[in-house]
Structure formats: structure tokens, C-alpha cells
Structure 1
Amino acid sequence: MNKVLIPVDDSNNALLALRHAVTTYGKDSHTEIHICNVQPKIYRHIGKFVSKKTIHEWQEERAYFAAKSAAEFLEKSGVSFSFTHVTGDKGKALHDEATRLGCSRIVIGSAKKNTLSRLFENSTTAKLLEISDIPVEVVTGKTLPSLERWGIPALGAGAATALMVAVID
């Protein structure tokens, strides 16, 4: 059985990954599609004022709302699927859920980004690629915006040059 985990939220990148997975794997009767939404962990000091039940209900409601368009797309495509939501760090939570479900692959949508940008962001894709022993298939969206394609590397080069000049003096 081929089990495919697809992280979903209400983004275009998630729907792009979903479309790819349906096209590539969805028509195979030996494939199970599983969509998963990750909700942020609530800090302990907030938990002092709100019950665990209320927090769980709030996270569940947000997860269903975030996965609504993905579920509708899968239903229109005639592909059967299951849905769960988890909490915590996105990369680790998705990996743990894929392991728990016995998934054979993770298909994730990601925006094209500069390596330098990914260095400073908490990229779910980068985290999954780093920690996962399950194959991760990355489906990329549109091309990089001009600022990110040229501006960030130019700023990085400028900063490196300034640092070298400061060290030499």
C-alpha cells in the first residue's frame, strides 16, 4: 500500500502539492491519500487561563477550516482521503505523523526561495528534508520574486564585502 501524506493549510502551495499528488498517485487504487494540518502549540502561560479542552477545540476548528479547500478539491476529484491535525513544530510534527501512519512518502508544496532566505526562515520544507527518513517530494510554485532573486544575494554580498573590509582595516 502506498500511503502519501500531504501537509495542508489554506495556501496555494498546499493546493499545488495536492493537485500534483492527485494527478500522480490519486487514481491508483493501492494509494491512500492522507492530508494533515499542523496547528501551533499554545504556550503554557496561556494554558493557565484557558482550559485544555477549549484550546483543543479551537485548534481543531482552525485545522478543519485550513483543510477545507483541500478536502473539497479531493472530493471533487473523486479521491478518497483521510484527515488529521497535529500540534507542534511543523516539520517535526509532520514527520512524526507520517511515521505514525506508516506513510511511504510526503508530498509538500513550497514556494521557490533563495537559499539565503531559507537560512533565516523556519522553513517546514527544509526541516522535513533535514530530519525525514521518509522520501519527501517537493512541489514548487511560481518563480522567485525579483527582490528575492537579486536583492537578497546582493545584500548578502554587500554585507560580506563590508565585513572583509572591516577585518582588513
Structure 2
Amino acid sequence: MKKILVPFDGSHNALRAVRYAATAVQEKPTLELELLHVLDPMSLRSHATLTNEEIHDLYASEADRVLQPARQILDQAGIPYQARYRVGAAASEIATQVHEAGCDGVVMGTRGMGPIANVMIGSVATRVVHLVEVPVILIK
């Protein structure tokens, strides 16, 4: 069975990527889907008064909030999936998840930056393409 990772940041293009992946699973039910939301780490100042459990709960709550529209699409289509979150730099965390979960491919949205902005600051999608050794489908 092949596993497809769908990174989800809540953007319109990420929603299109979820719909694309859902269609792929409907056409080939042996595919497994894994949703991933990557959160930015909290600043050290905001961690000062929180326990590790409280920090984990905050991350989990925020990830659940962001993933809700993607979950709704997959739930309505009756498509099974795993939902996860990671904390850190988006591209490297996506690549780590691909490796650790044994994913066979990635379907992700891109914000569609123009070539000049992409060269100057790069994009998560571009970095993921370079970091992983599995096919990546970019949805605009």
C-alpha cells in the first residue's frame, strides 16, 4: 500500500491539494493519506510559564484548528487518513515526516509566488522538492 503525505497550512492551494489527493484515493483505494500541519515553534518567552504538557496541548489544539477544513473534506468523502503535526521549519519537518512515515509521495499546495520572489526567498514547496527523494505533486 502506498502512502501519500499531504502537508496542510490552511491556504486555498492546500485545500485544492487535499481535494486532489482525495480524488486520487477514490480512484485508487489502496492509497493511504496522511495530513500534516507544521507549526512554528513558540518563542522561548512564551514557554517560560508553561509546562511541557501545556505546550503540547497548545500545539495540538492549533494543529487541530488548522487541519479542520481538510478533515472535513476527507470525512465527507469517506476517505480514511491519519492527521499529524510537527513543530519546526516547514520544509525540513515535511521531509522528516516523509522519511519517518515511509511516504511514497507528497501532494502539496503552493502559494504560486512569481519567479523573482521564489528566487529571492524560496518557497516551502521548492525546498521540499529538493529535500525528499519521492515524487512531489504541486497544486496551484
Is 1:94 matched with 2:94? yes
Task: Structure 2: give runs of 5+ residues left out of the alignment.
Answer: none
Structure 2: distance between partners of 1:122 and 1:45: 29
Residues 98 and 132, structure 2, Cα contact 8 Å, conserved in 1: no
What residue is the counterpart of 1:64 in the other structure? 64
Provide the rounded CA distance (Å) in 2 between the counterparts of 1:127 and 1:49: 34
Question: Structure 2 CA distance, aligned partners of 1:115 and 1:29?
Answer: 36
- Residue 91 to residue 26, structure 1, CA distance change in 2 (3 Å): farther
Partner of 1:126: 126
In structure 2, distance between residues paired with 1:124 and 1:93: 10
Corresponding residue number in structure 2 for 1:75: 75
The answer to whether the Cα contact below 8 Å between 1:107 and 1:136 also exists between their aligned partners in 2 is yes
What is the Cα deviation at residue 122 of structure 1? 5.2
Could you say which residue in structure 2 is the equivalent of 1:21? 21
Q: Which has the higher contact order (CA 8 A, sep 6+)?
A: 2
Aligned position for 1:136: 136
Give secondary structure in 1 for the equivalent of 2:64. helix
Aligned-residue identity in percent: 21
Out of 128-137 and 40-49, give the one that drifted further. 40-49
Q: How many residues align?
A: 140
**Larger Rg, first or second structure (1 or 2):** 1
The whole-number CA distance in structure 2 between the counterparts of 1:25 and 1:119 is 34
Please give the alpha-carbon distance, in whole angstroms, between the structure 1 residues aligned to 2:128 and 2:56.
25
Q: Distance in 2 between matches of 1:42 and 1:72?
A: 27
Taking the TM superposition and a 5 Å limit, the aligned residue runs for 1:32-43 are: 32-43=32-43
RMSD over aligned Cα atoms: 1.5
Q: Which amino acid aligns with 2:55?
A: I
Give a deviation string over 1:56-110, Cα, whole Å, max 9, x none: 1111100000000100100111111111111100000011111111100010011
Partner residue in 2 for 1:166? none
**Normalization by structure 2: what TM-score?**
0.92
State the Cα distance separating 1:119 from its structure 2 match.
2.6
| TM-score normalised to structure 1 length | 0.77
